[in-house]
Chains A and B, each alone.
Chain A
C-alpha cells in the first residue's frame, strides 16, 4: 500500500452524526482487510470518541474533524475538536469517583482504550486530539 493513504472527514455536532463517521471507518476497514469483529470494535470506539467530543468539547465551531489513515499495519483515526480542552488526569479521577458512587455514565474513554490497540489523548486550550489505532 503506497504511502499511508488517508481520508479526511468533518462532521457537525448533531445527534447520530457519529454514524456518518463509522460508515467511513467500516468502508476503510473492509478496504484494508480488517476482520468483521475488529471493524465493529473500531466503530464502537469511534462512536464513543465522537460523542465525547460532542458532549464535552464546548466547541463553538460545532464540528469535529476526523482523519483516517490506513496502512498495511492497520488504521489510525484522529479526532480533533476546536474546543476548550480538558485535564485528562482530572477527568479520569472524576469518572472514577462518580463510578464509585454508582454513576453509570462516563465510559467513553475506557471503551476506547479497551476496544482499540492504542489510544492517545492530547488536550489543550486549543482543543483535544484523540488518536486511536487498530492493528490488523
Chain B
C-alpha cells in the first residue's frame, strides 16, 4: 500500500482539489496539512480532498484531518471530501467529522458546492 504521488490535483481561484493517499495515516495526513497550509498562503480557502485512491485511514490521520478542517473554517473557508469509500465515511461519522465537513459522491459535485 504505497503512499507515493502528488497531492495537489487542481487549483482554481480560491478552491483546491487534493488527492489523499492510499493509507491516510499520520504521515499522509501531515503531508496533506502542509499542502493545505502552503495553498492557503496563496489565497486558497476551500479545499476538496478526493479520496478515490484511499483504501484505509487510521484515527491518528483523521485527527489531523479534523484539525485541517477547523483551520480551513477559521480561515473563512471549508474542507470537504469526495469519492469516499463506505467504510471511511462510516469512520468519519463515528469520529464526528461529518458535523464539520461534507462528503460528496463526485469531485464535480464537491467543486460545484463551493461555487
Contacts and interface: CB of A to CB of B under 8 A. Distances in A.
Interface of A: 15-16, 18-19, 22, 37, 40-41, 43-44, 47-48, 51, 104-105, 107-108, 110-111, 114-115
Given A40-B85, A104-B67, A107-B63, A48 B94 contact: no
Contact of B23 (A16, A105, A108, A111): A16
Contact of B59 (A15, A22, A111): A111
Nearest to A43: B56
11 contacts: A15-B25, A19-B56, A40-B85, A40-B86, A43-B56, A44-B57, A44-B87, A44-B88, A104-B63, A104-B67, A114-B90
A44 B91 contact: yes
Contact of B86 (A19, A37, A51): A37
A47 B87 contact: no
Nearest to A103: B63
Tell me if A's interface is mostly helix, strand, loop or mixed: helix
Given A19-B1, A41-B90, A108 B59 contact: yes
A117 to B, nearest CB: 14
B86 A48 contact: no
B44 interface: no
Contacts of B85: 40
Contacts of A41: 87, 90
B51 interface: no
A114 B67 CA distance: 23
Given A19-B23, A115-B94, 20 more contacts: A15-B25, A16-B25, A19-B56, A22-B56, A37-B87, A40-B87, A41-B90, A43-B56, A44-B87, A47-B56, A48-B59, A51-B59, A104-B63, A104-B67, A105-B59, A105-B60, A107-B62, A111-B91, A111-B94, A115-B91
Contacts of A51: 58-60
